[in-house]
Structure 1
């Protein structure tokens, strides 16, 4: 029987699966980070794998851990020296991922570790643009409390206020006004 799209991926498996695979080490490392596989990630760190390497898809471990709110791995990566502001090929950081996917605890952890709230992707969008577009009120508040500029424009001239208006995020518009 086929797994449905509602079935979450397996969250635990034998540690050796991702430490002794046919995958490139950096690809297995990023994949393990996305699944919150703490022991697998720890093994890769012990093997001195570059924590900031991009996988074949242009993603990095910190970004994927933030996107999936793999908090244990996120903390381990940050404590082990991963670059909190590492950008993917599209310029997005782990904070962009947390703000896009509504991962409040991941965003809090990143901000606590001094993630730049001003970092911009290749289109000039900051994390606040992502939170506004996706209607994440709690993340907008976190960023505002952290001192983010709500009037920063992306490369097309759109501010977070414009994004909130365009996506009809009225609660966020009230916060930004």
Structure 2
């Protein structure tokens, strides 16, 4: 398989809200990647996007991508703030109770199911969910979530390198 910038399109999507504390982790990862890319460029055809997670914007961001990597905050009970979960689309998505949404108003799993129904999924979808400590109003990540950003950026970069190498 020949890989060129026209063929390989990779998108890293940070979902979040900088004014809901740990909910800004997706945006923090994309911002960190952008700063690192200024020194060490990402492969041609790689886009970095920050979104609030509204379903149509999220689907539009990934629909033409060969690989989409989504980073978002997650709630877990009991929570281990800063713990990162890596999910592949080919794995079964957990069912979201109909009464449950996230801070974006629509659960990411529901957005993925909608995109699947509309045939608007990327070629491959990876989701990194970072367990949040605090999504109340305010700015700044909790210490545990902030500590997860650097290692998560490295994992995302590793996924991109692996994908490009595997596509050659």
**What's the TM-score, normalizing by structure 2?**
0.19
Instruction: Specify which structure has the higher proportion of strand.
Output: 2
**CA radius of gyration, larger in:** 1
